[in-house]
């Protein structure tokens, strides 16, 4: 029995899919166009930026700010809560969902990476990939240059030090640093 689902349906279900599917390609180009408009917008025109972010993202919370440049794969897979601030250079590879809570502080150059690729060379050459969601809890602070890897959840009130690489879940109310990020103390 063949699988009749589209690559988009497979991607949204969290299953392996072919990355260069034409439908996904068009959705990615849409996101690139909107990101370009956001990145080129007059920084004092908050209404235009808000309109573009509302069109691009799954949700963009009240009183949140995202400083350009910003890049994402699809946009509609990303939700950002209220009063969240993302500094310059946020990259969100939102092949799977990326959920960013309320009151989150994101330093410059942060990367939220949901995409995964096969280890075996054949499937990788054939453009198969998959993804795992990322969840950033309320009141989290991600220092500059933090990388959050696929499938990670960071609990509320946690601080992740600059340059850290988060490869596994972090509980609420801790400070974590390093590569890989390790909890060094409770808050």
In a domain, 77, yes or no: yes
Low-confidence ranges of the chain (pLDDT < 50): 1-2
Mind telling me the catalytic residues?
A: 117
pLDDT of residue 69: 98
Query: CA of 85: how far to CAs of 7, 14, 28, 106, 167, in Å?
Result: 33, 28, 24, 6, 23
> What is the number of structural domains in the chain?
1
- Residue 3's pLDDT is what? 61
Q: Considering the domain boundaries, does residue 1 fall inside one? A: no
180 is a domain residue: yes
Residues 6+ apart with CB under 8 A from 182: 176
Q: Which domain covers residue 39, as residue numbers?
A: 7-186
Regarding beta strands 78-80 and 98-100, do their DSSP bridges make them parallel or antiparallel, or are they unpaired?
parallel
> Does residue 151 fall inside a structural domain?
yes
8 neighbors 27 (Cβ within 8 angstroms) = yes
What is the number of alpha carbons within 13 Å of residue 89 lying toward its C-beta?
Answer: 11
Residue 5 has a pLDDT of 87
Nearest to 158, CA basis, from 105, 95, 117, 93 = 105
pLDDT in tens, 115-157: 999 999 999 999 999 999 999 999 999 999 999 999 999 999 9
Residue 111 belongs to some domain of the structure: yes
How far is it, in rounded angstroms, from Cα 177 to Cα 160? 6
Q: 177-186 pLDDT, tens per residue? A: 999 999 999 9
CATH number of 136's domain: 2.160.10.10
């Amino acid at each position: 029995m063949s699988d009749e689902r589209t690559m988009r349906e497979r991607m949204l279900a969290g299953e392996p899919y072919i990355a260069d599917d034409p439908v996904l390609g068009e959705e990615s180009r849409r996101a690139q166009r909107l990101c370009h408009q956001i990145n080129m917008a007059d920084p004092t025109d908050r209404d235009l930026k808000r309109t573009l972010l509302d069109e691009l993202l799954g949700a963009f919370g009240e009183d949140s700010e995202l400083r350009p440049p910003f890049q994402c794969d699809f946009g509609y897979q990303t939700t950002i809560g209220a009063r969240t601030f993302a500094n310059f250079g946020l990259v969100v590879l939102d092949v799977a969902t990326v959920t960013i809570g309320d009151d989150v502080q994101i330093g410059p150059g942060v990367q939220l990476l949901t995409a995964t690729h096969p280890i075996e060379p054949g499937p990788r050459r054939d453009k198969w990939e998959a993804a795992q969601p990322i969840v950033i809890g309320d009141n989290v602070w991600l220092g500059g240059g933090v990388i959050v890897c696929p499938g990670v959840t960071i609990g509320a009130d946690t601080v992740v030090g600059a340059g850290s690489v988060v490869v596994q879940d972090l509980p609420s109310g801790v400070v974590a640093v390093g590569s890989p990020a390790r909890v060094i103390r409770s808050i």
